[in-house]
Amino acid sequence: MLRGSSALYGAGASGGIISITTRQAGGPPSADTTVTLGTPLTRLSKEGLSANVQQHFSGSQGPIDYAFHLGAQRIGSPYDAEGHRIAPEPSQGDLFDANVYNLSGKLGWRIDGQQRLQLSVSRYQAKQNTDYASDPSVARAPAGSTAARAIRGLQLENQNELRNTVVNLDYQHQDLFGSTVSSQFYYRDYFTRFPPFDARAVATRGGNVDQISQNSDVFGGRLTISTPLGQAKATKLLWGADYNQERSDMPLDLFDPRAYDSSGGLVFNRIGTATYMPPLTTRSGGIFGQLQHKFSEQWSAEGGLRYERASASFDDFVPLSQSRVSNPATVKGGTVDYGAWLFNLGAAYAPVKGQEFYASFSQGFQLPDIGLQIRNARAGFDINSSSLDPVKTNNYEVGWRGALGNTLASVALFYTTSKLGDVQSFNNGLILTRTEERIAGVEAAADYRSDDERWGAGGTITWINGRERPQGSASFQDMTGYRIPPLKLTAYLQFRPVSQWSNRVQLSYYASRDYRLNGQNSFGRREVSSYTTVDLISRYELTRKDTITVGIENLFNRNYYPLYSQLLRNSNNTSRLPAPGITLTAMYQHRW
């Protein structure tokens, strides 16, 4: 991930850019098959078994290159360190006891030595089919006093589900009037269904037992041109434009609360439908230019300018808070539209080969979560009087990266400010607020390899501190645990006794932290305890084409609660889920 925004990217990429490289098409014809099996070791049962089969093909024929991938997966039941089944996650859901299917393909055409066209299509589908629900009775115990509990006998017609289809068309010309031209057009169709929720205590949810789904259609494109300037080609201009449009809506199923109560949270009889969020259309587009220049072997710099414009609109609708009212009020539709100029500047200095110091400043821009305000709308809601001013961030970073003998290392210090942060929801959406934010942190990493590459070691450290000033307040306060994680340390030791066999032990440590204000517990504000996990990975090459990998997660079967569980998202024990206990995974891969 690259922290900070860039003139090249908009559409909400204000905090950083994540680059994901998938397997490429082309090359000699090849194929590989991967089979993976997994099981919890604290309780051996067929319910806990997981299996995953993936098949990949790639190659080329004349000007055509291709890559195809298909797979199927069964995700089993999780068990904690004491052998108890982990309850379903009550707010965002999970995919335990689910069947997953994935299919993707890339087809490329090398038009000539300078031009290439590629079509990519992928489809992912995961559907849960479980007999387990989360026991609502644990909510009656004091928060943090007991773990969430799984109960058997769930009767729910439509369980958690996720479907995602992506189509992408890329065209590149390596030399069009001296420039490299890249264009992209994409379309995404996304659907997800969340777990049912007892929202009778939430005024904006209409006092229902309900289940939310989300539909999203996204399409857009971008044009990027790389133009060298000057005879020495020490200067390069990256310029272009992009556009993105997303249309989302969130329908909702209503269930009989009497059947839910009498069954102890197991029976969900559908009695109707409602609208949680009406169709919301967001559009963003921008033009940009990024200039890069290399002054010498030691010095280089770049700077960019971007103009971004974003809008969001929705039609009239009846909010969920009015679902039980005899004469429900209608919320008027509306549109918000904002634009901004964004700037970035950075420089790097390499005093010697393999050592580099750098500093940068960048700005980001995005609309806040408008859907959050619409979902919690009440009678008389007016989008033009809502807290929907855009989020504009300033990001500062200095750092060093380089090699010290056999060690590669890096250190980065960053600081981010925003006069008006994103919309935050507290008390299940009853309170919506904006805050001024200041976030600072440091990240460092180091990796060592011995001369014969038999030994290796390394680790990372990440520390972040965030302060916010709520609207109407004169002072700053610590941000919640959902925004600012505690100190995290990782370390690993790697040993290769023979060339075919490699082993790695890795450790992760999360520090304790007190997020409370004046010692009071509230949403995202609790005192969390530290925990440490250790994993083991062993890989052996049987032949040039066959490899076996064995992994053990939570090697010492540590009984702990992850940060998310300790913060109690539901503000009661249904959110207090222990981590999985010791788990074994074995993978076999054959290259054809």
- Which domain range does residue 183 map to? 2-591
Question: What whole-number distance in Å separates Cα of residue 364 and Cα of residue 54?
Answer: 39
What's the confidence (pLDDT) of residue 61?
93
Residue 18 predicted with pLDDT over 70:
no
Q: Which residue has the higher pLDDT, 181 or 385?
A: 181
Which of 84-93, 176-185, 319-328 comes out lowest in average pLDDT?
A: 319-328
Class of residue 190 by CB neighbours under 10 A (exposed 0-12, middle 13-18, buried 19+): middle
What's the confidence (pLDDT) of residue 318?
83
Residue 336 predicted with pLDDT over 70:
yes
Give the tens place of pLDDT for each residue, 248-273: 999 999 999 999 999 999 999 999 99
Beta bridge partners of 348: 300, 358
CATH number at residue 51: 2.40.170.20
Please report the beta strands in 295-390, taking only residues with DSSP state E, as ranges in sequence order: 299-314, 334-349, 355-366
Question: Are the C-beta atoms of residues 255 and 196 closer than 8 Å to each other?
Answer: yes
What's the confidence (pLDDT) of residue 1?
46
**Beta-carbon neighbour count of residue 341 at 10 Å?**
10
pLDDT band at 15 (very low <50, low <70, confident <90, very high): low
Kind of pairing between the strands at 115-128 and 132-134 = unpaired
At residue 518, what are phi and psi to the nearest 5 degrees? Answer: 55, 35
What domain count does the chain have?
1
Owner of token pair 């919890």: 40
pLDDT band at 387 (very low <50, low <70, confident <90, very high): low
HSE of 420 in the Cβ direction (CA atoms, 13 Å)?
13
User: Of 450, 344, 359, 341, whose CA–CA distance to 401 is shortest?
Assistant: 359
Residue 218 zone, left/alpha/beta (φ > 0; ψ -120 to 50; rest): beta
What's the confidence (pLDDT) of residue 227?
96
What's the confidence (pLDDT) of residue 370?
77
Query: From the centroid of its chain, how far is CA 19?
Result: 12
pLDDT band at 321 (very low <50, low <70, confident <90, very high): confident
Give the tens place of pLDDT for each residue, 206-225: 788 999 999 999 999 999 99
- Looking at every residue in the chain, the average pLDDT score rounds to 91
SS3 string, 47-77, reads: HHCEEEEEEEEEEEECCEEEEEEEEEEEECC
Three-class DSSP category at 239: strand
Question: What whole-number distance in Å separates Cα of residue 365 and Cα of residue 290?
Answer: 17
Give the tens place of pLDDT for each residue, 363-379: 988 777 777 777 777 76
Question: Are the C-beta atoms of residues 289 and 237 closer than 8 Å to each other?
Answer: yes
Average pLDDT over residues 484-494: 97
Q: First CA to last CA across the chain, in angstroms? A: 33
Beta bridge partners of 189: 165, 217
Residue 429 predicted with pLDDT over 60:
no
Exposure b/e, 370-388, CB count within 10 A at least 16 = b: bbebbbbbeeebebeebeb
- pTM of the predicted structure, to 2 decimals: 0.88
